[in-house]
Amino acid sequence: MPVISVPQAFNEEDLYVDLRAVIGRALFLKCEGFNFAGSIKLKAAAEMVAAAGREGALTRRSILVESSSGNLGVALSMIAASKGYRFLCVTDARCNLATRLMMEALGSQVHMVSGTESNGGFLGARLDYVRDLCATEHYRTTAPAIARFFPDLDVLFVGAGTTGTLMGCARYFRRWDRPVRIVAMDSAGSVSFGGAPGRRMIPGLGMSVRPPLLDDAYVDDVLVVEEADTIRACHRLAAHGFLFGGSTGTVVSGAADWLERYGHPGLTAVAIAPDLGERYLDTVYQSTWVRDLYGDDLDGDAREPVLPPREAGRGA
């Protein structure tokens, strides 16, 4: 039984879900949300703070400032609290209420940006909120963990946000001893791979400007996933007892589509699940929010209720 003294010391790296029963195809989902920050962003946040410490940029009176619409802000809030730093997170309207409340519960200050910049995105400074440190950390940790469990890996599905995870894994497998196809999953409305800008309501994946870390030469395929399909995938997973976040829904939806078209028996496919779903209860899993934004055809898995609805005028 592990015993830890700081929350960032715990991160379950080696948990995979076989999604064959969910999507009807062989796909192993690497779960990155089982840590106290609840997402893959713990790796980037820990390395960012550690690097600043190594460079002598931090003192006991330091204030960390970062831009995030979700998971990175929570991870930095947690690390700042454990190390005694103050943290200011600059975020926008796409940040889930649960995420904001979690950062505040950890003692962080949250500043909401109400306007947009000329490029149509929230806060252009987000370009550098995960720098080369993120890609380096995934090169050293995430990709080798996958290679260790799946030495016969054929295809890896990775969501594209700031592209730190994508680039770190892609560079690692480019130098591996067998070819691995790298498939990037982007959100509709993102311009990362040259698409037209559009409305994006689910935080996590997609960018309003091209990510500085992105190198297309390392990416074999790109799939653009509509947010409605992201929600359908999340609900489908939840109907099987797996509550994952919006980023994971995007990756699973795109992976299922790719496997439907190009998969074959014996193919070893892995997808990376960046986070869990509890922070999306008031959005992706909230029927009113979904219906208002995407219409009436996204109510998830229609099943008979365990209890019949109450009759009008009857008490509990």
Statement: the pTM of the whole predicted model exceeds 0.85: yes
pLDDT of 185 strictly over 90: yes
CA triplet 167, 190, 99: central angle to 5 degrees?
80
Q: Are 10 and 35 in contact (CB under 8 A)?
A: yes
pLDDT of residue 115: 56
Average pLDDT for 207-223: 92
Half-sphere exposure of 100 (CA within 13 A, CB side): 15
Of 260 and 67, the one with more pLDDT: 260
Q: How far are the Cα atoms of 38, 126, 152, 159, 161 from residue 123, in angstroms, in the given order? A: 24, 6, 41, 21, 15
Q: Is 131 exposed, middle or buried (0-12, 13-18, 19+ CB in 10 A)?
A: middle
Q: What is the pLDDT of residues 229-277, one digit of tens each?
A: 999 999 999 999 999 999 999 999 999 999 999 999 999 999 999 999 9
Q: pLDDT tier at 19 (50, 70, 90 boundaries)?
A: very high
